[in-house]
Amino acid sequence: MDKWVYVKLLSIIILLSSPISLQAGVFQDSLGRDVILRSIPVRIISLAPSITEMVYFLGLGDRLVGVTRFSYFPKEAQKKPKVGVYTDINVEKVITLSPDLVIATADGNKRGDVEMLEEAGIPVYVINPRKVDQVLDTIERLGETCGVPDRAKRLVNSLRERVMRVVKAVRDKGRPIVLLVINVRPLMSVNRSTIHHDIIQLAGGRNMTEDQPITYPKLNMEAVIKRRPDVIIISSMERGGEFEKARKKWFAWPTLPAVRKGNVYLIDSDLIDRPAPRIVSGLEEMARLMHPEIEWDERQ
């Protein structure tokens, strides 16, 4: 049977078996699209690890009936059925799980997968946060879409307060030049179009590679020596091993201000790579590393 015919038949069966609720609504997603829901969604599928984190943060983990691979935070998410990786969704698996809402990301999910799900009659809400404040706005809008607006507002307000504490703390401090290393071999960083740049700015630093024309520029040591970063932060998924070796290798360049002052650090990549609630923890950690002279509240 042709794949599209199979998908269409599955969708018809699901639609016929789904009663219409009086609690329907129309919600505008991050792309300005109207998403029509037949009821408050109770069977949600997340198409990216960051979305999975948002749903759990809102206290709606029990509604998740499907997630993508690498959705390992929180730990409970690992037990959920998998629908592929976010760049390659198993559309048939999504449909067989009978979701009443699928949440996708504009950056990672294929447009064709989203369109196929919508053609199958499944509402798809697309998010597209590019900055820290947009992440928080997105979480709040997801809470409204999923029927928990008050809870979402309360939780997001708490995150906003933490962001403002950081911004206030670094406001009158110097702005060190920061080299954020997102890949060791080859050496790569980020320009101003990334959420990483926004974090560096909010944390009171200057992104060394902000003006690079490529989003994730490759660098050589000559360029690094010329720019003389005050702080070097290596984004890694582990604290030891190869990334710790990479951190120590920087100390072979004592002419760099960051090396001379001992300001070469590792940071958990999940805290700054994923546009999810933990991005605020990433901001707080970046601020601590960039401004050790500040007496930070350990509760943050």
The H or E element spanning position 262 is: none
Residue 20 has pLDDT above 80, yes or no: no
Residue 22 has pLDDT above 50, yes or no: no
Q: Which residues contact 180 (CB under 8 A, 6 or more apart)?
A: 189, 190, 196, 200, 207, 208, 209, 233, 235
The H or E element spanning position 32 is: none
Task: Judge whether 152 lies within some domain.
Answer: no
Q: Which amino acid is at 208?
A: M
Q: Domain containing 272: what range?
A: 174-290
> Where among 128, 160, 192 does a domain terminate?
128
237: left (phi over 0), alpha (psi -120 to 50) or beta: alpha
Task: Give dist(CA 227, CA 216) in Å, integer.
Answer: 17
Query: Which tops the pLDDT comparison, 108 or 7?
Result: 108
Q: How confident is the model at residue 296 (pLDDT cuts 50, 70, 90)?
A: confident
Task: Judge whether 16 lies within some domain.
Answer: yes
- Can you give the pTM of this predicted structure? 0.88
Same domain for 12 and 91? yes
Task: Judge whether 151 lies within some domain.
Answer: no
Same domain for 226 and 110? no
Closest CA to 203 of 250, 171, 230: 171
The CATH number covering residue 111 comes to 3.40.50.1980
Q: How far is CA 290 from CA 17, 172, 222, 254, 285, in A?
A: 56, 14, 23, 19, 9
Task: Judge whether 143 lies within some domain.
Answer: no
Query: How many domains does the chain divide into?
Result: 2
Q: What is the pLDDT of residue 17?
A: 46
Task: Judge whether 136 lies within some domain.
Answer: no
Same domain for 7 and 118? yes
Closest CA to 116 of 229, 246, 4: 4
Query: Which tops the pLDDT comparison, 14 or 122?
Result: 122
Per the listing, tokens 């072979």 go with: 252
CB 73 within 8 A of CB 50: no
Same domain for 122 and 181? no
Q: How confident is the model at residue 238 (pLDDT cuts 50, 70, 90)?
A: low
Write out pLDDT tens, residues 68-123: 999 999 999 999 999 999 889 999 999 999 999 999 999 889 999 999 999 999 99
> Where among 128, 144, 162 does a domain terminate?
128
Write out pLDDT tens, residues 240-256: 567 888 899 999 999 99
Q: What is the pLDDT of residue 3?
A: 52
